Structure 1
Amino acid sequence: MSRLPALFVALGLLASPVRAETAPPADAPAKPAPAVVSPPAATGADAADTSLSPECRVPGSKLYTLARLAAVKAALKEHRAVRVLTIGSTSGAATSSASYPVRLETALERSLPEVDVVVEARGLQGEIASGAAERLRALVAEIEPDLVIWQVGTADALARVELDAFADALDETVRWIKSHRIDVVLVDPLYTKSLAQDEYYNSIVRKVFEVARREAVPLVQRYEAMRYLSAGSDKGEAHFLGRQFRLNDLGMRCMAEHVTRAITLSLLQPDATGSGNGPIVGKEPPKDRPATEASPAPAR
């Protein structure tokens, strides 16, 4: 019998082999519960996640919020391939060994051993959320994924889409996907130093966070992760966004790792025990971010 992955045992998807043994005496101390796979222990509030490659390490508080992934977990329980549809501006990258979709599939299969992961990538280059909604519905019908990873917000921000219209379109589409028993992971806009000074752009980032919390779906905080990595670069943003740090190079490799980490940890979220979606694990974006209007408090 092959060795069972520790993650599957922790998820309760597989059981360890049972060995016959005599019953312990009635007064014997209880055995400790088996260890559960969990995030690496942090040495401080902002300790970087050491499970990531050194150049991609970001504290979990700046990298993701977590929520349950029921459809992916169901696929694992049924011992079938997990189908992933990734959409957004970088999802249609050329299919080379260095591309984001290939890196993502490799990272997911490494994180979920003995699981076949099939990643289908579709670019939505320059397409805003409201325009992407109809095409996304067609893609879902065609591919029938267990999980949709949606990089969203950058095109809307550059097009200066009205904030509430953007949030409404994103909300509606996420709800539609979930209504078909498909999981969703959102990825918010990219970061550059110049865009960080744009109040409207930051409001779009905030809206993605609010929708993720309201709809109880995991969020990969690409904006915060890139800002953190940029600040840690000895050569500054010129190096971060230059030839040595293009999005199809280190940026894409880090993004694949970051998305995989959020998915893996979301799979460890406990199953629902009531009718509510339950809380998302994670922290809100920093309060020092400028905004053009007062953002409503996140739904609880």
Structure 2
Amino acid sequence: MPVRVRSLLRGVASACLAATLSLAVGGAAFARGEAVACPDVAPVMGLALPHLKAAIAHNVQAVIVAFGSSSTQGWMASDAAHTYPAVLQRLLSRALPATHLAVINRGIGGQDAAEELARLDQDVIALRPQLVIWQVGANGALEGIDPALFKRLVVAGIRRMQGAGIDVVLMDNQRAPRILASREHLLMEHSLAEIASVTGSGMFARSALMDAWQAAGRPYAEFIAADKLHQNDLGYRCVAEALARAIVAGLGSGEMVSTH
């Protein structure tokens, strides 16, 4: 394994240990967030993950990169342990105890397709992951990016990752007031679904997920932070639970264990 990847994985392990110790001592905010169960409803999101599945089958270090903007970095989470990649790491480690697995957070707030494409080689491909979860389109929707340009950029990024032997799963936008107020948010959703279809990448639709939650009586606002844009601890955790279930199902590895 390359030295840089080993170093990064040691850092991830240290961060996970710190997060575990933090969870052990607890805190009022954490206790409140963990006391609320995630909705027991999610649309079916079939994910084909041949490269990740092969790595696990051959007992190779499994590396997942969470790539994106502030929703990946974890803005408005109470701390790093409550970001969706950190929760996903814990859930997958619990569900796949025989697998040595790392989820590496490569989210940078304020970015979208153009900026993320510019750092794709260094921040993603150099880590040699088997799976990348690319959360993209929120800032594009807020800033009114040209849809044709958005599609070209995202398709180019996916093709580069697929050429490097990486499974790609796209993640679309959360149902937050500031996203919903954008004239482009539905276009972003449709564009990402079309890109997934054209490229053969996976699609994890937060939009459809949160619609299902609301239809089940859990309003969008329950999962959104005070800034009316990002998710709160509960939102990040419930997204991670649904994503972990989709990944485990894609691996054919049985039923996902929830945080409760």
Q: 2:151 is paired with a residue of what secondary structure?
A: helix
TM-score (norm 1): 0.64
Pick one of 139, 164, 171 that aligns with 1:180: 164
- What is the aligned partner in structure 2 of residue 117 from structure 1? 101
- Separation in structure 1 between the aligned mates of residue 67 and residue 198 of structure 2, nearest angstrom: 21
Q: Cα deviations across residues 159-203 of structure 1 (Å, max 9, x unaligned)?
A: 111011101111111011000001111111111356446442101
- 1:157 Cα shift? 0.8
Structure 2 Cα separation of the partners of residues 79 and 239 of structure 1: 40
Verify: 1:84 aligned to 2:64, yes or no: yes
Find the residue that maps to 2:109 and give its secondary structure: coil
Cα pair 2:41 2:216 within 8 Å, conserved:
no
**Are positions 1:57 and 2:22 aligned together?**
no
Is residue 228 of structure 1 aligned with residue 212 of structure 2? yes
| Superposed displacement of residue 256, structure 1 | 0.9
Tell whether the 8 Å contact from 1:233 to 1:240 is kept in structure 2 after alignment: no
Aligned to 2:168, the other structure's residue is in SS state: strand
Unaligned 5+ residue runs, structure 1? 1-52, 270-300
Instruction: Give the TM-score normalised by structure 2.
Output: 0.73
Q: Which runs of 5+ in 2 are unaligned?
A: 1-35, 254-260
Distance in 2 (CA, whole Å) between partners of 1:82 and 1:192 is: 32
Secondary structure (helix, strand or coil) at the match of 1:126 reads: coil
> C-alpha offsets along residues 13-72 of structure 1, whole Å, 9 cap, x if unaligned?
xxxxxxxxxxxxxxxxxxxxxxxxxxxxxxxxxxxxxxxx952333324xx2x2421210
Provide the aligned length of Structure 1 versus Structure 2: 212
Question: What is the deviation of 1:226?
Answer: 1.6
1:74 matched residue in structure 2: 54
Structure whose residues are more often helix by fraction: 2
Shift of the 198–70 alpha-carbon distance from structure 1 to 2, 3 Å rule, reads: same
Conserved in 1, the CA contact under 8 Å of 2:62 and 2:130?
yes
Which secondary structure does the structure 2 equivalent of 1:90 belong to? Answer: helix
Q: Could you tell me which amino acid in structure 1 is paired with residue 187 of structure 2?
A: S
Alignment partners' CA distance in 2, 1:238 and 1:139: 33
Cα distance in 2 for residues equivalent to 1:193 and 1:219: 23
Aligned residues of 1:99 and 1:248 also touching (Cα < 8 A): no
Contact 1:209 1:219 in 2 (8 A): yes
Residue 131 (structure 1) shift: 2.1
Task: Provide the rounded CA distance (Å) in 2 between the counterparts of 1:193 and 1:233.
Answer: 18
Alignment of 1:1-300 (within 5 A): 54-61=37-44, 64=45, 66-88=46-68, 89-93=70-74, 96-192=80-176, 195-196=179-180, 198-233=182-217, 236-242=219-225, 247-268=231-252
For the pair shown, the structure with the greater C-alpha radius of gyration is 1
**C-alpha separation in 2, matches of 1:116 and 1:133:** 28
Aligned-pair Cα RMSD in Å: 2.5
Are the structure 2 counterparts of residues 251 and 239 from structure 1 closer, same or farther at C-alpha, using a change threshold of 3 Å?
closer
